[in-house]
Structure 1
Amino acid sequence: MYSIQQLAKLAGTTQRTLRYYDAIGLLVPLRDDNGYRRYAKHDVDRLQTVLFYRSLDFSLDAIKHLLEADSFDRAQTLEHQVTALREKAAYFDMLADTAETTLTSLKGGIPMKEKELFNGLSFDELKAHEAKHETEVQDRWGDSEAYHTSFERANQRSKDDWETLSQEQMNLVKPLVDLFRADVPIEDERVQAVVKTNHQFIHTNFYDCSLDMFSGLGHMYVMDERFTMFYDKYATGLAVYYNDAIQHYCIKNS
């Protein structure tokens, strides 16, 4: 067991931070007979998970929702965090190289090529980085045939087609937001009807989405910060709620 002073020193954080995490229910330790906080091994593990998420710019509210989700799995979470942290490190290494090259050029009076000024900063490179990540996601959660089907359909669509699909997707999210805000249980037939409609939308417009793949997508909504942010911009905790609803749907229909 650790005291608050010992854990703060071990984790390189402050006692004030740990007290705040306790106050908001993010990291609640046991109390001894004198009322002092005592942190067990599972508290230490939870703090590590919290700090990893903080390093990936997750809000404390979003982290709390993720950790309290029925679908939370520490091993899966760590796998995703390793990938996300390595990608973030690689991206910032590229930016640091550009900054260092710029500094060397400035001090030495050697002009840089205009294109070199924006290594890692251009829209095309950001999109390429995102596309690489999307491919890895498809490789992990989907079979190759489904991925190629999605790729072929994507190439056949115009800008107007994508705008229409985007609007349709937003329209599908709205009823889910209303149900979430009304605290409707994920097992409720209204929630499950929305999940079914979303499943059919993916199946019709992107690829043959099996229940296993749909379950994988649900996990991705809470394991990948970009997907979490997409849903949580409508309501904090929506990504976790949607994932839990998807998992229930997949189990029920398997």
Structure 2
Amino acid sequence: MRINEVVKLTGVSARTLQYYDEIGLLIPEKLNNGYRDYLDENLEKLQKILFYKFLKFKLNDIKKLLEADVDNLKVLEQQRELILKEKEKFEIILHNIEKTIKTYKGEHKMTMEEKFNGFKKEDLNKYENQAIEKYGQETIEESKKRQSGKEDIVAEKFNSVFRSMAEYIKDGYSIEEKEVQSKIEDLYNYMNEYAFDCSVEVFSYIGKGYSQNPEFKSNIDKFGEGVAEYTSKAIEVYCNSRLNR
């Protein structure tokens, strides 16, 4: 299949396909006249690339995934779980928006409780709590037990991570850089040492909560503007790397 046919079939631009070829991500056959010829296996690989891109994987990570001997089905199933939990959260908000539109049109009258459905702390924490319920038993009690008598020390260890994140932002470090990922690993280890036995999957959900839970975000951003979002994204990179090993 010629490149213009692939563009028509997939919606991926010719320039993007050429770039994928240049970086070794998707290399088609080359005809004698220099034209690119995409075989069925190239198109199957392109579908995987598009899946991973949709799931916010970086091109470098996608290339490693495709080159490594990994269970692509397992990776996609894990990502599906994340998307389903995000979908549930956004459906609550979407339902709220639809009711609000009808209220403005005079077609519906919302109760005060309905107006704030999806914004309450318990709603915003919902998919994080689901992860805790699924992967961590008696997490609150266990956390209190592990921190007993060491509260100040524990707080300083966690705070040191967020202070470092603020410095990395100022210094222009990308979330993938070794120093950033090393500090995220410290955070993960502190979570396991002082909170509860935290799986990588649960750590991923907690990381999302840092940027999506207003209370978490507000507290973390006290260390510097954008620290919550930066840390959240850095945790996502760390967890994807661990899950794909």
Instruction: Tell whether the structures are fold-level matches, with TM greater than 0.5.
Output: yes
Gaps of 5+ in 2: 168-172, 210-229
Q: Are 2:86 and 2:127, in contact at CA under 8 Å, matched by a contact in 1? A: no
Computed over aligned residues only, the root mean square deviation of the Cα atoms, in angstroms, reads 4.6
1:152 equivalenced with 2:141 (yes/no): yes
Q: Distance in 2 between matches of 1:46 and 1:224?
A: 32
Question: Could you say what secondary structure the match of 2:125 adopts?
Answer: helix
TM-score, normalised with respect to structure 1: 0.58
Fraction of identical pairs, as percent: 23
Q: Distance in 2 between matches of 1:29 and 1:53?
A: 19
TM-score, normalised with respect to structure 2: 0.60
Q: List aligned pairs for 1:65-76, cutoff 5 A.
A: 65-69=61-65, 70=68, 72-76=70-74
Q: Distance in 2 between matches of 1:199 and 1:110?
A: 47
Shift of 1:73: 2.7
Which whole-Å deviations, capped at 9, do the CAs of 1:1-32 have from their partners, x for residues lacking one? x3222323332333333233334443332322
- Give the corresponding residue for 1:32: 31
Gaps of 5+ in 1: 139-146, 184-190, 248-254
Q: Distance in 1 between matches of 2:103 and 2:187?
A: 52
Q: Distance in 1 between matches of 2:139 and 2:154?
A: 13
Q: List aligned pairs for 1:227-246, cutoff 5 A.
A: 230=231, 233=234, 243=242
For residue 18 of structure 2, what is the amino acid of its counterpart?
R
Q: Are 1:232 and 1:239, in contact at CA under 8 Å, matched by a contact in 2? A: no
Q: Distance in 1 between matches of 2:69 and 2:190?
A: 23
Q: Are 2:28 and 2:36, in contact at CA under 8 Å, matched by a contact in 1? A: yes
Question: Could you say what secondary structure the match of 2:110 adopts?
Answer: coil
For residue 89 of structure 1, what is the amino acid of its counterpart?
K
For residue 39 of structure 2, what is the amino acid of its counterpart?
A
2:155 to 163, 180, 186: 163
Distance 1:239 1:79, change over 3 A: closer
Count of residue correspondences: 209
For residue 116 of structure 1, what is the amino acid of its counterpart?
E
- Give the corresponding residue for 1:3: 2
Distance 1:225 1:172, change over 3 A: closer
For residue 20 of structure 2, what is the amino acid of its counterpart?
Y
Shift of 1:79: 0.6
Distance 1:238 1:10, change over 3 A: same
Question: Could you say what secondary structure the match of 1:65 adopts?
Answer: helix
Distance 1:233 1:83, change over 3 A: closer
